[in-house]
Amino acid sequence: MVTISSVTVKDLREKTGAGIMDCKRALADAGGDLEKAIDILRQKGLSAAAKKASRETKEGVIGSYIHGGGRIGVLVEVNCETDFVARNSEFQELVKDIAMQIAATNPSYVCREDVPAAVLDKERGIYKVQAKESGKPEHVLDKIVEGKVEKFYIDACLLEQVFIKDPSVSINEMIKQKIVKTGENISVKRFTRYQLGG
């Protein structure tokens, strides 16, 4: 039996935001290895976040971000389940981070489900022509096209993008981490990005 110090539990709790008992259990399962325990909590957290994904989000805030001496402005609506979480500083920080992400990366859609079929068809058509012109064999063309469609989603859809402040996670993964910490479903409803002269 591995002895787990309260310092290690505290450290894991600070890094993940998980509850004390969850941290103790994860450290016990990981044989006291902090990095393994983080992985265990992340896996459990992602499945917990997935369970909460169907819950309704009627509260939340509309956040704003003005960048570059007033040259770019963003309004974003981020929803949660209760007013209590909407007023929470961690939730407010999340909204600010999302607004900053939109200002920096200029996504066109919230998620891949929002991309109109006509837009996808047009993109696929362009990628197919590019793949053919590169002289690639016929049997790999579809694979190349699908790879480029995935890249399009990452560029065009907010939730698919790599978080500018932490490239190890996507915006979607970052939101899932907050769902685990708050215990509530969180969703990005819509956003508008203004650019001076744009």
pLDDT in tens, 43-96: 776 555 555 556 666 789 999 999 878 999 999 999 998 888 889 899 999 999
Which of the two residues, 12 and 59, has the higher pLDDT score?
59
Kindly report the backbone phi and psi dihedral angles of residue 57, in degrees, each rounded to the nearest multiple of 5, phi listed first.
Answer: -120, 100
The DSSP call for residue 198 is: -
Residues 113-140, mean pLDDT to the nearest whole number: 88
> Tell me, what's the pLDDT at 52?
56
Mean pLDDT of the chain: 86
The residues that bridge with 66 in the sheet, in sequence order, are: 73
Rounded Cα distance between 131 and 79, Å, is 41
The pLDDT tens digits of the residues spanning 139-193 come to 888 888 899 999 999 999 999 999 999 999 999 999 998 888 888 889 999 999 9
> How many CA within 13 A on the CB side of residue 79?
13
SS3 for 100-169, per residue? HHHHHHCCCECCHHHCCHHHHHHHHHHHHHHHHHCCCCHHHHHHHHHHHHHHHHHHHEHHHCEECCEEEE
> Tell me, what's the pLDDT at 36?
86
List domains and CATH numbers for the chain: 6-52 (1.10.8.10), 59-110+157-195 (3.30.479.20), 116-155 (1.10.286)
The gap between the terminal CA atoms of the chain, to the nearest Å, is 63
What confidence category does residue 16 fall into, taking pLDDT thresholds of 50, 70 and 90?
low
Rounded Cα distance between 14 and 8, Å, is 10
> Tell me, what's the pLDDT at 38?
78
Q: Is 181 helix (H, G, I), strand (E, B) or coil?
A: helix
The residues that bridge with 54 in the sheet, in sequence order, are: none
DSSP states of 32-75: T-HHHHHHHHHHHHHHHHHHHTTS---EEEEEEEEETTTTEEEE
Give the contacts of 177 (CB within 8 A, at least 6 positions apart): 17, 45, 49, 169
Rounded Cα distance between 178 and 191, Å, is 19
